[in-house]
């Protein structure tokens, strides 16, 4: 089984917007370039942190084209394509494959709840059949807190049996490291990415492939250092410090927190636009976040 996408640390990239809430394509390309230059193995584009579901299919295909035009390599992109409507998911997946992006991060159809295993399997059957023979590399996007539709071990087992070499991995954003370990142990070769860099060392020790995380929009360099050092004696200490940074951020709503901190990092105004229903932090939340983040960073920089 050949893997096109590398192991390692992925940022679940933010999507910068203009004041009228359109995608700011040049700024997205610059952010993507910075993330790769900061040590990211790859980029998850159009995931939850990227406000994917808030954009129409045509906005999403344009976003990908503009990003590739700006020189971001397709072999470093894992693209979110999962929609409620199968024709939309198929359209996004085909468009990606036509543009050389093979890594597809696929949410389950996420409106209906109490979905039966057979329904989830049927959705992936239809998707993979309708994509055709363009060699997709499908990553299951497990995020039950948002979707209400988990990928159980039994569903994954059936998908792997049906689509070897096509269904190749998972982004587990459920926050339960035991589930990540269970998947890595149950399915050798299945590429388990933790949904947070908090679990990076844990998931690598369990045989996982890396992490795909929102906070890596800020912690990319640190996360790459932890990834490089995960088998070293310093691994646990580095992980602990990185987790403290994550912790400082994740007690606030994630997307507005990351957009604020990215505005501060870059000094470029206009990062704090987001589409409803995602909302900016209040001024007092912004102050509290900045204080918590600064304290966590100071701790990272102190001697080991």
The catalytic site residues sit at 48, 111, 141, 171
145 vs 152, beta carbon nearer a copy of itself: 145
Smallest gap from residue 174 Cβ to a copy of itself (A): 13
Please give the residues from 33 up to 62 whose contact with a copy of itself meets the rule CB under 8 A. 48, 53-57, 59
Q: Which candidate, 193, 244, 283, places its Cα nearest to that of 12?
A: 193
Contact, 14 vs 257, CB < 8 A? no
| CA–CA gap between residue 207 and residue 209 (Å, rounded) | 7
Examine residue 9 and tell whether it contacts a copy of itself (CB under 8 A): no
Contact, 226 vs 235, CB < 8 A? yes
Examine residue 85 and tell whether it contacts a copy of itself (CB under 8 A): yes
| CA–CA gap between residue 10 and residue 224 (Å, rounded) | 9
Total of chain residues touching a copy of itself, rule CB under 8 A: 40
Smallest gap from residue 203 Cβ to a copy of itself (A): 24
| CA–CA gap between residue 304 and residue 256 (Å, rounded) | 31
Please give the residues from 267 up to 296 whose contact with a copy of itself meets the rule CB under 8 A. 275-279
Q: Which candidate, 54, 42, 117, places its Cα nearest to that of 83?
A: 54
| CA–CA gap between residue 25 and residue 211 (Å, rounded) | 25
Specify whether the backbone of 148 is left (phi greater than 0), alpha (psi in -120 to 50) or beta.
left
Q: Considering Cα of 287, then 291, then 293, then 297, what sign does the dihedral take?
A: positive
Please give the residues from 112 up to 171 whose contact with a copy of itself meets the rule CB under 8 A. 112-116, 118-120, 122-123, 125-126, 145-149
149, two tokens: 């539709």
Please give the residues from 163 up to 222 whose contact with a copy of itself meets the rule CB under 8 A. none
Please give the residues from 99 up to 118 whose contact with a copy of itself meets the rule CB under 8 A. 108-116, 118
75 vs 282, beta carbon nearer a copy of itself: 282
Smallest gap from residue 60 Cβ to a copy of itself (A): 9
Examine residue 225 and tell whether it contacts a copy of itself (CB under 8 A): no
Smallest gap from residue 183 Cβ to a copy of itself (A): 21
DSSP assigned state of 41: S
Residues that bind a copy of itself (CB under 8 A): 48, 53-57, 59, 84-88, 91, 108-116, 118-120, 122-123, 125-126, 145-149, 253, 275-279
């Amino acid at each position: 089984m050949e893997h096109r996408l590398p192991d390692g640390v992925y940022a679940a990239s933010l999507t910068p917007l203009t004041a009228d809430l359109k995608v700011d394509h040049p700024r997205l390309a610059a952010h993507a370039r910075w993330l790769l230059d900061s040590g990211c193995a790859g980029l998850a584009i159009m995931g939850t942190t990227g406000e994917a579901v808030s954009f129409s299919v045509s906005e999403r295909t344009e976003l990908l084209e503009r990003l590739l035009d700006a020189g971001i390599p397709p072999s470093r992109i894992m693209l979110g394509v999962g929609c409620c409507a199968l024709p939309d998911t198929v359209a996004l997946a085909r468009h990606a494959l036509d543009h050389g992006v093979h890594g597809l991060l696929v949410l389950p159809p996420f409106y209906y709840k109490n979905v039966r295993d057979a329904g989830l399997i049927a959705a992936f059957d239809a998707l993979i059949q309708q994509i055709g023979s363009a060699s997709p590399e499908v990553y299951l996007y497990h995020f039950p807190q948002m979707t209400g539709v988990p990928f159980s071990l039994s569903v994954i087992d059936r998908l792997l049996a049906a689509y070897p070499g096509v269904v190749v991995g998972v982004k587990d954003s459920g926050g339960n490291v035991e589930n990540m370990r269970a998947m890595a142990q149950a399915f050798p070769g299945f590429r388990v990415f933790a949904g947070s860099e908090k679990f990076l060392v844990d998931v690598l020790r369990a045989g996982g492939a890396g992490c795909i995380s929102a906070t890596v929009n800020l912690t990319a360099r640190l996360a790459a250092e932890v990834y490089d050092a995960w088998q070293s004696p310093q691994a646990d200490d580095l992980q602990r410090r990185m987790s403290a940074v994550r912790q400082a951020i994740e007690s606030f709503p994630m997307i507005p927190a990351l957009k604020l901190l990215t505005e501060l990092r870059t000094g470029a105004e206009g990062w704090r636009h987001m589409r409803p229903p995602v909302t900016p932090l209040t001024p007092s939340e912004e102050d509290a976040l900045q204080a918590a983040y600064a304290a966590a960073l100071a701790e990272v920089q102190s001697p080991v």
